[in-house]
Amino acid sequence: MSEKTRATDGQSISRAVAVLRAIGARPGASLGEIAKETGLARSTVQRLVGALNNEGLVTKNFGQQGVFLGMELARLGAQVNLDARTILAPMMDELHQQIGDNIDLTVFEGDRVIVIDQKASNESIRVVSHVGKEHPIHATANGKAHLSQLTRAEAEALLPSELPAFTAKTFTERARLLDQVEAFGQLGLYIDREEFSLEACAIATTLPPFGGRKLAVAIAMPSARFARREEDLKSALLAFRRAVQERFGASI
């Protein structure tokens, strides 16, 4: 395949994606409206919509004017959603090789923080976790990361006014917790300093949503080791999040 052909193919794919995004943002948009939104010629939009319609990625068969996203996208999206752990696994493995301590990938469902993938620590003294474990949203690093994915009003509606204490360091005042989450959000890293379990600390960051599901990744380890490695952990998590964003964009 020539360089010219590859460039043309890449341009066509980019234009098709732009059309899909425009339709997703404005279901039922006309060809002219899609052209205006994407900056493409109307004839180009018409050709792309025709090709996407043939593949079931868009449809015009709703008895209405305009173009809608097709059911084939929903089918593909459902398959991607089921493979979240598989898709992120190679990057999780790389992070684990770098860190060597416990790493949890969590999802936020309703009011629950659930571990959906986990890399166990290589150390003899470790923080123990497992797939399926639920983490309290107010007393863990990944819980705080998930709180940051809500508006303050949503978080206040979710949390009781008095939060249960797991240790003497647990934040039990809702306002104080949310103030800390907002402050942490400036860097995008969220820390639990013995708030869930004595002698254990963790640090987490958010990831792009996966099929609409809110994700976070956390590193947990004994407090003494955390204190020695905190700056390295911050750098590693920020680099991990940046790599995920560069590979998958705003959503996976």
- CATH code of residue 23: 1.10.10.10
Residue 1 pLDDT > 50, yes or no? no
The tens digit of pLDDT for each residue in 58-68 reads 887 655 678 88
Do 101 and 212 have their domain in common? yes
Picking from 76, 96, 116, the residue at the C-terminal end of a domain is 76
Picking from 34, 50, 76, the residue at the C-terminal end of a domain is 76
Do 96 and 145 have their domain in common? yes
Lowest-pLDDT range, 1-5, 118-122, 235-239? 1-5
- The two structure tokens encoding residue 57: 């990625």
Residue 130 pLDDT > 70, yes or no? yes
Task: With both helix axes pointing from N to C terminus, report the angle between 42-54 and 3-25 in degrees, rounded to the nearest 10.
Answer: 90
CA nearest 108: which of 75, 83, 145? 145
Band the pLDDT of 82: cuts 50, 70, 90: low
Indicate the number of domains in the chain: 2
DSSP 129-141: --TT-EE-TTTSH
Band the pLDDT of 210: cuts 50, 70, 90: confident
Picking from 76, 92, 107, the residue at the C-terminal end of a domain is 76
The tens digit of pLDDT for each residue in 216-251 reads 999 999 999 999 999 999 999 999 999 999 988 877
Averaged pLDDT of the chain: 89
Do 92 and 176 have their domain in common? yes
Contacts of residue 217, defined as CB under 8 A and 6 or more positions apart, other chains included, come to 92, 95, 103, 104, 105, 106, 142, 204, 205, 207, 237, 240, 241
Do 121 and 10 have their domain in common? no
Amino acid letter at 29?
A
Do 32 and 102 have their domain in common? no
Lowest-pLDDT range, 70-84, 95-109, 222-236? 70-84
CA 141, CA 67: separation in Å to the nearest integer?
43
Do 40 and 120 have their domain in common? no
**Domain residue limits at 29:** 3-76
pLDDT of 80 reads: 53
Do 98 and 69 have their domain in common? no
pLDDT of 81 reads: 46
Do 108 and 63 have their domain in common? no
Residue 167 pLDDT > 90, yes or no? yes
Do 89 and 198 have their domain in common? yes
Helical (H) or strand (E) element with 243: helix 223-248
Do 108 and 172 have their domain in common? yes
Do 61 and 162 have their domain in common? no
pLDDT of 65 reads: 74
Do 68 and 91 have their domain in common? no
- CATH code of residue 169: 3.30.450.40
